[in-house]
Amino acid sequence: MFSKTRVTDKPQTPPAPTPPDAPAPAAPSFERSEPAAATPARRTAPSILSSDLTVVGNIRTEGDIQVEGTIEGDIRAHQLVVGESATIRGEIVGDEIVVNGRVIGRVRGLKVRLSASARVEGDIIHKTIAIESGAHFEGSVQRQEDPIANGPTKKLAPPASE
């Protein structure tokens, strides 16, 4: 007697049969585009070397590193944070370097920041530098446009004696 069909509903018709010689419709493609293996993920958590760790040798990474222990060797990283309890004896190189602890050796970085608790004994080669009040620093400061690419700088000749 009564029907629940609406005026806007379209009657459903079964799909037309395909002839046997017709090609099958292509299945949808669900391919993911993977990032290239040559480009590493940039923002990962920093590697942390704890305060009870002593490393004798050089450290090199493309990522970020935070040092709280003692390092006797050179360090090269993208971003390097020297913790308050850290001591580094060697050259440190990075795009961004924050020194809160002690460094005995050369510091080369695009952005170098010495916090109030920093103790640096060595030369600093930088593009930009910030030294907070209270930081101890013994050495020379030299600005270069690209301190990382220039490699080690030559030592200045001692003053001529008369």
Distance, in Å, from the CA atom of 92 to the CA atom of 140, rounded to the nearest integer, reads 15
Q: How many residues does the chain have?
A: 162
Is residue 151 scored above 90 in pLDDT?
no
- Provide the mean pLDDT of the chain: 81
136 beta partners? 119
Q: Is the pTM of this model over 0.85?
A: no
pLDDT at 30: 45
102 beta partners? 87, 119
* Over residues 6-32, mean pLDDT: 56
Is residue 11 scored above 70 in pLDDT?
no
Which pairs count as long-range contacts for 127-136, CB under 8 Å and 24+ apart, including other chains?
A: 135/99
